[in-house]
Every structure is written in C-alpha cells, then in structure tokens.
Structure 1
Amino acid sequence: MTAFNYNASAELFPSRRYAKSQQTQYRRFPKAAEAIRFCMEELPEAGLAGTVLEVNEARFDGDDIRKLYADAAYPLARNQADA
C-alpha cells in the first residue's frame, strides 16, 4: 500500500443500508486513524460493507479500510480481537 496519511482529517459515509437500520450518519474525524479504528472496532462487519472513508479527496471502501487497519504503519493500538 502506498504512503497513507493517518493524521489527515477524514469523513466517513456509512453504508446506506446500515445507516437506515442503525441510524448511523455521516461523521468527520480529526484523524483518519480514528475513523479507521471506529470502522473496525465499532461498526459490525455488515456495517463496513458499503461504507466509504474519504481522506484528502481519496475514497476508500470497506476492503481498503481493513487493509489500512492491518498495515504496519497504522499508528493506534488495535483491539486484540481485531489484530
């Protein structure tokens, strides 16, 4: 994976299907790493499908979010169950 700025601000657009059922809405995060952690540790697996993370005008889908979380450069501590 190319260099990713985990400290850049991020916007999270939840899956429409999940947003309707769980009342989760668009969110802004001061750091992309926090948005990624939210996706991986707070959203159920079904909620990640269709979710889009936007960082510096680049968009990342659920699979990309998983890869960013698993990347060695991810700066935050991971939930042991997800590591």
Structure 2
Amino acid sequence: MSAVPDYAAFAELYTGYSRLGARRSHYERFATAAEAIRFVAERMPRHLLRGAALDVGDDRYEGEAILALYLSSAYPLERATR
C-alpha cells in the first residue's frame, strides 16, 4: 500500500458488518478516491468503519487508515466544518 493514494483515481468502497450473526456487505464505486474518502469520513455511519475497505488502483486502505487519508494534508477536497 502506498502512503498517499492517487486521489483522482477511480475507487471502490466495500463495507461489511455483522448484525445478529448475519454478515452483510455493501459495494459502491466512486469517480475519485477523494470522493470515496469524503463519503467515509462525513457520511458513513462509524459502526461500518471497522469492516470498510477502499481499493484505489492496486492499493487497499482499511478502517482507520481511510480516515487518516481524510485528515492528511495531501487530501485535496475541502473538509466539512463541524
């Protein structure tokens, strides 16, 4: 995994969670990794973060590593104000 992804590259987000013993998963494609990272940080419920994986090219980022990309000084989009 590279330290900094190509934020302009196509990205695939996989989320999985367990509810009452049943494993559910969700797949979503994004035009850019930056948009996918923003979705995870600003819109995705936190309980899904543990099972989340973001594929950008040949690299995969999981869970807290996705949030770290959002907080990185290299992140190209404007962050939400809280």
TM-score between both structures, scaled by the size of structure 1: 0.82
CA contact (8 A) 2:4 2:69 kept: no
Pick the structure with more strand per residue: 2
The aligned counterpart of 1:30 is: 31
CA distance in 2, matches of 1:3, 1:43: 21
Deviation, structure 1 residue 35? 0.2
Deviations, residues 6-34 of structure 1 (Å, cap 9, x unaligned): 001000001233783xxx72011010000
Q: Where do residues 1-83 of structure 1 align in structure 2 (5 Å cutoff)? A: 2-17=3-18, 20=24, 25-81=26-82
Structure 1 unmatched ranges of 5 or more: none
TM-score by length of 2: 0.83
Matches of 1:29 and 1:4, distance apart in 2: 14
Q: What is the CA-CA distance between 1:2 and the residue it aligns to? A: 2.8
Q: How many residues align structurally?
A: 78
SS in 1 for 2:48: helix
> 4+ residue runs of structure 1 moved beyond 4 angstroms?
none
Find the aligned partners of 2:46 and 2:62 in 1 and give their Cα distance: 13
Could you tell me which runs of 5 or more consecutive residues in structure 2 were left unpaired when the two chains were aligned: none
The residue type equivalent to 1:28 in the other structure is R
What letter is aligned with 2:54? Answer: L
